[in-house]
Structure 1
Amino acid sequence: MTEPQNAAPQKAAPRKEPSQAELEAGRLLFAGPCDFFHGSQTLDQLPPPALPEIAFAGRSNVGKSSLINALTGRKALARASSEPGRTKQLNFFDLGGRLVLVDMPGYGYAKAAKSVKEDWQKTMFSYLRGRPNLDRVVLLIDSRVGFKDSDREACDLLDKAAVVFQVVLTKCDQLSASDLQKRIEEVEAVLAKHAAAYPTVMATSSEKGQGIAQLRAMMAGFAAPPSR
């Protein structure tokens, strides 16, 4: 159950770097196999809930496919749609039988038909609210532009679904250190107003590898124990 939307904002917790053991757990998890195993265009096509799931959401062209490929060390595991904003399919990837990554359709494409946008909201909300093994949503925000209206709508949707989400900034190599710090503080101020938001922000670059090890470590904390 979410907290009231007018609850007093809470200050972001200090950013904590993962330990060497956590970094190694993340490295080992993502060094294993990662394979596409299912695509769902409708809710009745969802695979049975089994392994822990982490879903990736973000605006079209935010760099979601590039980030998933960087995390898994594959060049074309996740593919960007040739028509941004029109892909409706949820894509499921099995990470070594321990964790499932879910690539959600991009949102916020200006030229997408209104019916497509409404369909995205309806389908995604139903998935987010009803998926018992969904442990976290990684919400990607382009560090160069920060929050847009569609991102704020996505945060509201996640609040209503009562699913914890963590913002990960993409393309951070294109900002100076000072500009990146300002962007992080701006985003954390927005997140303080959302009940379902994890209070700290992660900064990444798929191109330069920035933050990839830390993101892997975070995600490894949700993975099922390795089979013996």
Structure 2
Amino acid sequence: MAGDAEPGSDDAADSAATARLEAGRVLFAQPCAFLRGVADLSGLPPSDLPEIAFCGRSNVGKSSLVNALTGRNTLARTSNTPGRTQEINLFTLGPEAQPRLMLADLPGHGFARAPKAKVDAWTRLVNAYLKGRPPLRRVLLLVDARHGLKGIDRTVMSMLDAAAVNYQVVLTKADKPGMKALADIQAATMAGLARHVAAHPEVMATSARTGAGIPELRAALTDIAAPAPGGGG
């Protein structure tokens, strides 16, 4: 019948999706090591690794998401106190001799329980990093699923647009709102991205607590990683 899917097409799509999820699982099961904390741009190491940055408002869950992706509880330090991350913390993912990704956990934008001068210094550091880091392949802009995009998020998005840095919005704490509220926030966020030229079109929803969305995000980031040793994907 006209319009019917070809036999096996659904199976092929399912197999491809399963393989992509497995590639993400394998990548993020590899060693992940803290490289260094960077308090100013002069401390950033030269690197030819693809780099992914975790950016967002203070206490949005950046460190928790890094831990969830890598399957570790204490790789990145977490706290209920906004402003705990005070440097750009860099991690390498993959074998020590040939890592495949650099992960950058950034200080939060906006409110933090710290002197204003220090918060301003963190914000300048993060903005300078985002605009001028050559290996940076994607910024994950983390947004609390209970609240959606805020003014500070839109400011960062406009800055990334101007710098032509590819970024993707990832909703965190997706277990907190109900299913309808989450769907509404996700739809509103996608609508808000329509005018932003550097934004990735897909908004992903994740929960570090329940693991929801983590396999899918791993798979998406695997597409950015350097090839595996030996030429595998």
TM superposition score category, shorter chain reference: 0.7 to 0.9
Cα distance per residue 1:128-162 (max 9 Å; x no partner): 22211100000100000111222122212212222
Q: Which residue of 1 aligns with 2:89?
A: 91
Residue 21 in structure 1 maps to residue 19 in structure 2: yes
Cα distance in 2 for residues equivalent to 1:83 and 1:66: 13
Q: Which residue of 2 aligns with 1:37?
A: 35
- Relative contact order (alpha carbons < 8 A, sep ≥ 6): 1 or 2 greater? 1
Cα distance in 1 for residues equivalent to 2:184 and 2:104: 30
Cα distance per residue 1:3-39 (max 9 Å; x no partner): xxxxxxxxxxxxx997112111101001110010121
Cα distance in 2 for residues equivalent to 1:61 and 1:165: 19
Structural RMSD (CA): 2.0
Q: Which residue of 2 aligns with 1:209?
A: 211
Instruction: Please say if residues 58 and 140 of structure 1, whose CA atoms lie closer than 8 Å, have aligned partners that are also in contact.
Output: yes
Query: Would the alpha carbon gap of residues 61 and 121 (structure 1) be closer, same or farther in structure 2, given more than 3 Å must change?
Result: closer
Cα distance per residue 1:165-221 (max 9 Å; x no partner): 100001111222211110001111111121211122000011111000000000001
Structure 1 counterpart of 2:89, one-letter code: N
Provide TM-score, normalisation by structure 2.
0.85
Instruction: Give structure 1 stretches of 5+ with no counterpart.
Output: 1-15
Residue 75 in structure 1 maps to residue 77 in structure 2: no
Q: Which residue of 2 aligns with 1:171?
A: 173
Per-residue deviation, 1:84: 2.4
Provide TM-score, normalisation by structure 1.
0.87
Query: Would the alpha carbon gap of residues 86 and 68 (structure 1) be closer, same or farther in structure 2, given more than 3 Å must change?
Result: closer
How many aligned positions are there?
213
Instruction: Please say if residues 85 and 108 of structure 1, whose CA atoms lie closer than 8 Å, have aligned partners that are also in contact.
Output: no
Query: Would the alpha carbon gap of residues 98 and 160 (structure 1) be closer, same or farther in structure 2, given more than 3 Å must change?
Result: same
Structure 2 counterpart of 1:41, one-letter code: A
Q: Which residue of 2 aligns with 1:104?
A: 106
For 1:43-54, what aligned pairs fall within 5 Å after superposition?
Answer: 43-54=41-52
Cα distance per residue 1:75-131 (max 9 Å; x no partner): 010003575236431111110010111001111116544433432332222212221
Which shows bigger deviation, 173-182 or 34-43? 173-182
**Which of 103, 124, 128 is 1:126 aligned to?**
128
Give the 3-state SS of the residue equivalent to 1:74 in structure 2: coil
Cα distance per residue 1:51-84 (max 9 Å; x no partner): 1100000111111111111110100100035752
> Percent of counterpart pairs with the same letter?
53
Structure 1 counterpart of 2:132, one-letter code: G
Q: Which residue of 1 aligns with 2:10?
A: none
Q: Which residue of 1 aligns with 2:152?
A: 150
